[in-house]
Structure 1
Amino acid sequence: MGVIAHLYRGEIYRSTLWRTRLDTTTNWSVVTLGVALSIAYSSPQASPLPLVLVGILIVFFLMLEARRYRYFNVWRARCRWIELHFMVPMLTEGDLHMEERWQERLAEDYRRPSYHVSMWTAVGRRIRRNYFWILLIQTIAYLGKLIVHPGPLQSPGELLERASIGPFPGWLVLGFGAFYCSSWGAIALWSARSDAERARHRNDPLGMG
């Protein structure tokens, strides 16, 4: 009993530690986007380019956070597993139900640790939890900059002219932006459907994660 209690405390600590790391990368994304907004909206003549370039940093932070989430999910799943099969039975019945072999699955996870979710599933989950709003603010801020600065937009052609960056025409920049947003949205939707399908058709009652 004492060993399991200390094991649970250790897993809670690791889960909390990695959860803090997830918050750190989200904060980095919010701060960099805030800096880009400040630069782009500092004056009507300021370029909207920082709002485009910050997308590279946001993607980098998203991938880093997804990687951290895969680690976090391992510790979280173990904590939840111990809660369901150790804490709950002890509190309700005073019996660990070892015949259900839950302890073997936990031991196997310690013997051969592995990720419980794929990288793209982790990316989709982080988009749904946090990065959807970050990407939405980036998109709205960029379009708003094109519409209001250096003056109110007069025609669609003027929008394309303002969106052009160096040798790249406006239609290409806006097209790439649409692809950028739709790609992350598609990954988020695929991840949501995959999680729902996984939960609905889970045949292994001893599955973790």
Structure 2
Amino acid sequence: MGAIAHLYRGEVYRSTIWRTRLDTTTNWAVVTLGVALSISFASPEASPLPLVLVGVLIVFFLVLEARRYRYFNVWRARARWMETHFYAPMLSEGDLHMEDDWQRVLANDYLRPRYHVPFMVAIGRRIRRNYFWILLIQTLAFAGKIAVHPTEVQSFDEAMRRADVGPLPGELMMLMGVIYVSVCGAIALWSKRDDLRRGRARGREKSDSMG
């Protein structure tokens, strides 16, 4: 009992540390977007290019955060497994339900550690939890910059000219923006469906229900 208590406390501590690291990458993404907003809206003549370039940094932070999330999910899943199979039955029924073989699942996870979610699922989860709003602000800010600076846009052709970035025409920049947002949205939706599928399978496969 004492060993399990210390084990649980250790897993909670590790999940807390990695949860803090997730917050760090999100903060980096927010700060860089804030800097891009400040530069692009500093004056009516300022270029919208920083709002485009910050997308590269946001994708980089998203990938880094998804990698960290996979580590965090290992510690979180182990702690949650002990909560649901050890502490909850002991508190509610006074029974550890050893016949469910939950301790063997946990032991196997220690003997053969693995990620509990695929990398793309981790990316989709982070988009749904945090990066959807960051991407939304970036998209609206770029559209707003084109629409109001230096004056209110009067036609679609004028908007396309304002979206020009060096030799790249505005039409291409807009197309890249649509692809950028669409891909992120598709990953988020796909990961949601995969989570639902995994949730349904979790009820049938007790031995693979962590993560």
| Cα deviation digits, residues 45-64 of structure 1 (max 9, x gap) | 00000000000000000000
State the alpha-carbon separation in 2 of the partners of residues 69 and 155 from structure 1: 44
Structure 2 portions without partners, runs of 5+: none
**TM-score between both structures, scaled by the size of structure 2:** 0.98
| Cα deviation digits, residues 11-66 of structure 1 (max 9, x gap) | 00000000000000000000000000000000000000000000000000000000
1:4-153 counterparts in 2 under 5 A?
4-153=4-153
| Cα deviation digits, residues 90-141 of structure 1 (max 9, x gap) | 1112221111110000000000000000000000000000000000000000
Identical amino acids, percent of aligned pairs: 69
1:150-169 counterparts in 2 under 5 A?
150-169=150-169
Aligned to 1:194: 194
State the alpha-carbon separation in 2 of the partners of residues 165 and 93 from structure 1: 66
In the alignment, residue 51 of structure 2 is paired with which amino acid? Answer: L
State the alpha-carbon separation in 2 of the partners of residues 170 and 93 from structure 1: 66
Structure 1 portions without partners, runs of 5+: none
State the alpha-carbon separation in 1 of the partners of residues 200 and 99 from structure 2: 25
In the alignment, residue 162 of structure 1 is paired with which amino acid? Answer: R
In the alignment, residue 49 of structure 1 is paired with which amino acid? Answer: L
Q: CA deviation at 1:205?
A: 1.9
Partner SS for 2:206: coil
Provide the aligned C-alpha RMSD in A: 0.7
Aligned to 1:208: 210
In the alignment, residue 82 of structure 1 is paired with which amino acid? Answer: M
In the alignment, residue 11 of structure 1 is paired with which amino acid? Answer: E
**Number of residues of Structure 1 aligned to a counterpart in Structure 2:** 209
Partner SS for 1:201: helix
**TM-score between both structures, scaled by the size of structure 1:** 0.98
Q: CA deviation at 1:166?
A: 0.8
Q: CA deviation at 1:89?
A: 1.2
